[in-house]
Structure 1
Amino acid sequence: MYKALIFAYYFPPKGLSGVQRTTKFVKYLPDFNWSPTVITTGDIAYFAHDHSLLEDLKNENIRVVRVSGKEINSILKKKGTIKMPREIFRKLFAYVSAWLNITDNKRSWARQAYKEAKRLCSEEKFDVIFVSGPPFSSFEAAIRISEEFKLPVFVDYRDLWYGNQFAIYPTPWHRISTKKEEDAALRKVDKIVVTNRRVKERMMKNYPFLTHKKMLIIPHGYDAQDVAAAAPGAKKLTKKMVITYSGIFYEFITPKYFLKAFKQILKENPEVAVNIELHFIGFLRIENRRLIRRYNLQNFVVEHNYMEHLEALKKVMASDLLWFMVGKGRNADTISSSKMYEYFGTLKPVLACLPDGALRSHLEDYGASYISDPYDVKTIKSNILKAYEDYASGRQPVPDEEFVQKFDRRLLTGQLATEFQFFLKVH
């Protein structure tokens, strides 16, 4: 088999959304005659751990090598799974970290990953290097190995680097330095993988030397094996319509406008509201629970806390309507969430509160969707009422299954493997 060396800070047993994309590439690469070796973190403190994801890695052709840095997560590793802080404290830490670090605060881990990669490449032959960001500081390590061992390097953007929707630039110097760092990195890579066309267009505008040939779009997706495994355990425990949100709230991703819309339904259409349950899978912060109490919706909300991936998917599949939200932050049109594509895999109707952008475009093509502006309470309310009417009458919209199949994780990994093969011939 051919060999791929992969840098991935976010990787099982860590949980949450940043882990899924690289994990599924690694899971399916052996199907296409590629054996991945993943350099990832050792034990670290993190908000969620999902040991069930390690099942995806039980293949004799997959190897995982763990190294530790001196970033805050590694320093606090004995804490294990830590409580997610209130949003005000998370923002404060992010601001302090932005002052002290250009790009991100994972550079010490990247240095250790580089040393381990150098040892591995000195002992055996690899055919390609793949690195996924964020954290983008790991790009430098992968590029150094690429240059020293004459290997093609693929950089995978799960989000923008410069102009990232959550990035903080305390001074113009921080902003300019970040862009310069990305510019230098992009001039040295062989292929740039992005999740959607909006990211590609934004990067080509920021860095005019980039060409279409150098860019590759591979969207997020869903794992058909996971959907098949979860289906038998997806049991609905109520006769009410279940609306489910899976994930966490932070920055401009908030339940505020959805809850406000439902409060209006409770006031104006109580006969509808009493037949709906609002399920939340993930972490509700103190401020989220305060909103629920402010609108007096405690009797309508079912909180499931964080669940391992397959268990969460069972809850999602037992739902009648899946809710998704992205607010209007910087470059929000480029955001591409793996959660939405997993929603696609369930073939369930989706209630989406989104700005114009890549996600909204795909939801329109999906077909089974009720879409509104993220802050348009009136339309959100109307969409919930319409979704309930469709549910009660047995006329829920049906998605375009041919469109959905384009996002199968195994198919997407095949596209990546094909690009790897091309660079084998070139080099």
Structure 2
Amino acid sequence: MKKVLIICYYWPPAGGPGVQRWLNFVKFLPEFGIEPVVYIPENPDYPMEDASFLAEVPKEVTILKQPIFEPYKFASIFSGKKTKQISKGIISNKKQSFTEKVLLWIRGNFFIPDARVFWVKPSVNYLKKYLENEDITTIITTGPPHSVHLIGMKLKKQLDLKWIADFRDPWTNIGYHSALKLTKNSQQKHKKLEHEVLNSADLIVTTSYTTKVEFETISSKPIEVITNGFITPEIKKSKVDKKFTVSHIGSLLSGRNPKVLWSVIGELLEENPDFKKDFQLQLAGAVSKEVLESIKAYKIDENLSILGYVAHQKAIELQRATQVLLLIEIDAEKTRGIIPGKLFEYMAATRPIIALGPKQWDVARILEETNAGVYFDYTEKEKLKETLLSFYKAYKNDNLYVNSVDIDKYHRKSLTKHLASII
């Protein structure tokens, strides 16, 4: 069985879709003749945790750990709340406090490419010795944090091995990059590192088609698209909610504030007494202050249920029980290549999806291929309103369902087969 070393920062008990991607690859790779060895930080400062993932780690997998210096721990002395928000990617678009401005400036200009950069040198020293003593000739790095790719690049330069760089998100073209208050010199450093990584790796993996196209303008190295996906856990089948619940499961950050959707819902609540009686907006996950203020401004707060962060199994149950699932992305050209991991779990839940995002969003292509939901850009208010009302009418007639097709190719096992073929 061929061994492969996987270098990642996010691993159980960390929560979030980045953990699920590689946890599931590690589970299924042995079925395709590949033995994964996983390298992770010993003492990470994860912005969110989900202990339920620990039970999913295969007992037979080799886990290597080395300490990491986490500057976020020191920053929290000055403002624990703001530090945690920035670590999660929650950056306010409104007036920022002096502390928040300083933390963002330090994060963007002192820690390049990110605050986990101090893990690079000790990891290279440790892994070089390990790889020299083991029969491992292939390594995989997965980011963000993109500093993990610097580990791969340095090992590639020092040892004769194959290096695959997996990008779960873009680098300099990610939505929040411009919010980091980068100096011109810092921007150039990011661009230089991105170029070096993309041209040093033997093979690049992206989770979206748009990111692949963007990277092809920087590198001539082969690029494969392996999206995120779903797995069907054995959980008790959920009964669909009696109320007309429209749910968003996951973080709603400041930039991801769909005012056009809140406007549509506000109008339907005002115009239709039955809709107001039956409707419930359900939010599970971190929600920014700006989003909550907008919901209140459109008088939806009386029909709002806020659940906060929920464990992954609970999130799956909520997805399967809701009437309609919301998928929201920032309305910007830079987010066209962002395919949220929860899209695939939404598809597995077999409930209708309403996706609101930028024009030419990669999600639209997947929804069209699978017939799993309906996509709208931010200018299509009337079409969005008509669709939401048609879903409500189907709900009233006990006839709200989805006929999705060909979603099995997004199962984690199918995606792992693709990964194994390029390893």
TM-score > 0.5, shorter chain as reference: yes
The count of aligned residue pairs is 408
Name the CA distance, whole Å, in 2 between partners of 1:195 and 1:45. Answer: 25
Instruction: Specify whether residues 110 and 329 from structure 1 end up closer, same or farther in structure 2 by C-alpha distance, changes over 3 A only.
Output: farther
CA contact 1:367–1:397 (8 Å) conserved in 2: no
Corresponding residue of 1:424: none
Shift of residue 84, structure 1, vs aligned partner: 4.0
- Tell me if structure 2 keeps the 8 A contact 1:5–1:37: yes
User: Which residue of 146, 152, 161 maps to 1:136?
Assistant: 146
Deviates more, 1:131-140 or 1:364-373: 364-373
Deviation at 1:177, TM superposition (A): 2.3
Deviations 1:213-233 (A, max 9, x none): x11111111113x2xx23x15
CA distance in 1, matches of 2:307, 2:244: 17
Of 320, 338, 347, which residue of structure 1 is paired with 2:350?
347
After TM superposition, give the deviation of residue 252 of structure 1 in Å.
2.1
Kindly state the Cα deviation for residue 57 of structure 1 after the two structures are TM-superposed: 1.0
Contact 1:279 1:302 in 2 (8 A): yes
The share of aligned pairs that are identical, in percent, is 24
1:95 Cα deviation from its structure 2 partner: 3.8
Residue in structure 2 matching 1:198, options 210, 233, 250: 210
* Counterpart contact for 1:246–1:280, Cα < 8 Å: yes
Equivalent residue for 1:423? none
1:384 corresponds, among 388, 393, 399, to: 388
Distance of 1:110 and 1:233 partners within structure 2: 44
Is contact 2:253-2:288 (8 Å) kept?
A: no
Aligned residue type for 1:69: I
Please tell me the residue identity of whatever aligns with 1:195. T
1:210 is matched with 220
Distance 2:136 2:104 in 1: 36
Letter in 1 for 2:223: M
Distance 2:164 2:326 in 1: 33
Gaps of 5+ in 2: none
Q: Is 1:119 the counterpart of 2:123 in the alignment?
A: no
Residues 156 and 193 in structure 1, CA contact (< 8 A), matched pair in contact too: yes
Distance in structure 2 (CA, Å) of the matches to 1:58 and 1:242: 36
Alignment of 1:333-372 (within 5 A): 333-355=336-358, 356-372=360-376
* C-alpha distance in 1 between matches for 2:299 and 2:109: 40
Q: How does 1:163-312 map to 2 (within 5 A)?
A: 163-168=173-178, 170-205=182-217, 207=218, 209-211=219-221, 214-224=222-232, 226=233, 229-230=234-235, 232-236=236-240, 238-312=241-315
8 A contact 1:321–1:349 mirrored in 2: yes
Q: Which residue of 2 aligns with 1:154?
A: 164
Per-residue CA deviation, residues 234-257 of structure 1 (Å, 9 max, x unaligned), is 244x42122110111224212433
How do 1:32-181 and structure 2 match up within 5 A?
Answer: 32-60=32-60, 62-73=61-72, 84=85, 87-88=91-92, 92=101, 93-168=103-178, 170-181=182-193
Counterparts of 1:412 and 1:261, CA distance in 2: 37
Q: 1:74 to 1:43 in 2, by over 3 A?
A: farther
Shift of 1:325: 0.7
Partner of 1:332: 335
Contact between 1:2 and 1:127, CA under 8 Å: does it hold in 2?
Answer: no
> TM-score of the superposition, structure 1-length normalised?
0.88
Which residue number in structure 2 is paired with residue 4 of structure 1?
A: 4
Where relative contact order (Cα < 8 A, 6+ residues apart) is larger, the structure is 1
Contact 1:7 1:38 in 2 (8 A): yes
